[in-house]
Amino acid sequence: DTGVSQNPRHKITKRGQNVTFRCDPISEHNRLYWYRQTLGQGPEFLTYFQNEAQLEKSRLLSDRFSAERPKGSFSTLEIQRTEQGDSAMYLCASSSDSSSYNSPLHFGNGTRLTVT
């Protein structure tokens, strides 16, 4: 078990460009979550998956954001036509089927996006 892996660790892009992030969860975990975090704030929920099914997408997200988990393993988060306000840390986390003491969220180290 190597934990949750996110790539890249850092991404600098120009406004208007598209970016894609990847998350590899812990292998036996069915649940996968994406959060966005800015300085001094808690993680903000973006979306989550049960296996390959996307269960909910935050209403805060515009149509520029899309996430997939095609085979129920790794996931990608794409941001189209990036804006400076998209600059943040994007965190991925995974867990087993249901929340419990034995199944907390395990977070990756995040992808820090800077839009110039």
What is the dihedral angle through the alpha carbons of 114, 17, 21, 68, rounded to the nearest 10 degrees?
140
Which residue ranges make up the site for another protein (CB under 8 A)? 31, 33, 35, 40-45, 48, 55-56, 91, 95, 98-101, 104-110
Question: Which one, 56 or 83, has the nearer CB to another protein?
Answer: 56
Question: Which one, 16 or 104, has the nearer CB to another protein?
Answer: 104
Question: Which one, 1 or 14, has the nearer CB to another protein?
Answer: 1
CB 86 within 8 A of CB 80: no
Within 8 A by CB and 6+ apart from 30, the residues are 50, 51, 72, 96, 97
The nearest distance, CB 81 to another protein, in angstroms, is: 27
The nearest distance, CB 18 to another protein, in angstroms, is: 25
